[in-house]
Chains A and B, each alone.
Chain A
């Protein structure tokens, strides 16, 4: 019964990534509200983020947690609402995860490097 063990692991990963995301979203919102007081320009943002590897690390974790969490949820929605299951649905979900990770990490790199 490999499906059972996979599903149990996916559930666990989604749980853990959800915990990370809850934390990341809170920090993200707090920092955003704090930083934006009195207006903010693109140059100011880049001035703060360039070379800030702590910032980069935080958002890299944020992106990776999304890349784990979102595809698992999408696969569930596909199964329950569209009746789309099995290999093709799994591949599509992995593709979504890859896309989120790729685009997200590229964005983080763009503002940090």
Chain B
């Protein structure tokens, strides 16, 4: 860090300290650098200013999905968010993700989030064993293309934190779990399709989505969970009208 030329003014960084019940913002002055990310800022605070600050990251290159935080009011992946882009005026407010219980400071408890993936039947189950030959899926088939559109999810929870319906209905499965379900609905090898449709229907599932689109707007991987949710609505509604759900 010392080798990078420092800019004149420090960043004024407000960081959430505490948990869901109790806490407040603490201000730190952090030196500016070229090509600095928000994660760099948090790391600087933890290394040099306050070692008791808790936060989470792993890959630092936008793959693991563990570094998401609320930056100036919006959920973002901090390792790929440049300070220059979000803090033009030198002010940063960094808080934990919304819609998740806060363990401490910037680290949220994501177990409920991932439990919902399981509830949406987010597990793949195929008919083949290791002794069978590989299944063939045509790359240009409709199902494969639909699955492709949602498959790059890194599970960062940004969509979930940005969704108003999750705020209003604590049991709503949320955009990430439903996106996962949609990729599996389009997996022609999967054998749990009726159970999955059942799991994603109803007022904890796809039917309560209002298509507000915050998930699609904020997703750092440019996935549109709303598109998959619309697909699930169509499939499940059709099945329900036929009495198959």
Instruction: Given A11-B233, A12-B237, A12-B241, check contact A5 B201 (CB 8 Å).
Output: yes
Whether the pair B202, A8 counts as a contact (CB closer than 8 A) is yes
Q: How far is the CB of B228 from chain A (nearest CB, A)?
A: 16
Instruction: Given A9-B237, A11-B207, A12-B237, check contact A4 B201 (CB 8 Å).
Output: yes
Whether the pair A9, B168 counts as a contact (CB closer than 8 A) is no
CB under 8 Å from chain B, chain A span 1-48: 1, 3-12, 15
Q: How far is the CB of A17 from chain B (nearest CB, A)?
A: 13
Whether the pair B169, A9 counts as a contact (CB closer than 8 A) is no
Q: Which residue of A lies closest to B245 (CB)?
A: A5
Q: How many residues of B sit at the interface, in one of the four size bands? A: 10 to 19
Q: How far is the CB of B200 from chain A (nearest CB, A)?
A: 8
Instruction: Given A79-B169, A80-B169, check contact A7 B198 (CB 8 Å).
Output: no
For the residues of B in contact with A, the DSSP-based class is: helix
Q: Which residue of B lies closest to A12 (CB)?
A: B237
The answer to whether B188 has its CB under 8 Å from any CB of chain A is no
For the residues of A in contact with B, the DSSP-based class is: helix
Instruction: Given A9-B240, A12-B237, A12-B241, check contact A4 B205 (CB 8 Å).
Output: yes
User: How many A-B pairs with Cβ below 8 Å?
Assistant: 54
The answer to whether B216 has its CB under 8 Å from any CB of chain A is no
Bound-state Cα–Cα, A25 to B69, Å = 44
Q: How far is the CB of B119 from chain A (nearest CB, A)?
A: 12
Bound-state Cα–Cα, A84 to B44, Å = 46
Q: Which residue of B lies closest to A85 (CB)?
A: B203
Q: Which residue of B lies closest to A4 (CB)?
A: B202
Q: Which residue of B lies closest to A6 (CB)?
A: B202
Q: How far is the CB of A37 from chain B (nearest CB, A)?
A: 38
Q: How far is the CB of B4 from chain A (nearest CB, A)?
A: 48
Instruction: Given A1-B202, A11-B207, check contact A80 B240 (CB 8 Å).
Output: no
CB under 8 Å from chain B, chain A span 59-83: 76, 79-81
Bound-state Cα–Cα, A6 to B169, Å = 18
What residues of A have a CB within 8 angstroms of the CB of B239 in the complex?
A: 8
A-B contact pairs, 28 of them (CB 8 A): A1-B198, A1-B201, A4-B201, A4-B202, A4-B205, A4-B236, A4-B245, A5-B201, A7-B201, A7-B202, A7-B203, A7-B207, A8-B202, A8-B236, A8-B241, A8-B245, A9-B240, A9-B241, A10-B207, A11-B207, A11-B233, A11-B237, A12-B237, A15-B237, A76-B208, A79-B168, A79-B169, A79-B203
Excluding A8-B245, A9-B240, A11-B233, 5 further A-B contacts by CB distance (< 8 Å) are A3-B203, A4-B201, A7-B208, A8-B237, A8-B239
Measured CB to CB, the residues of A under 8 A from B are 1, 3-12, 15, 76, 79-81
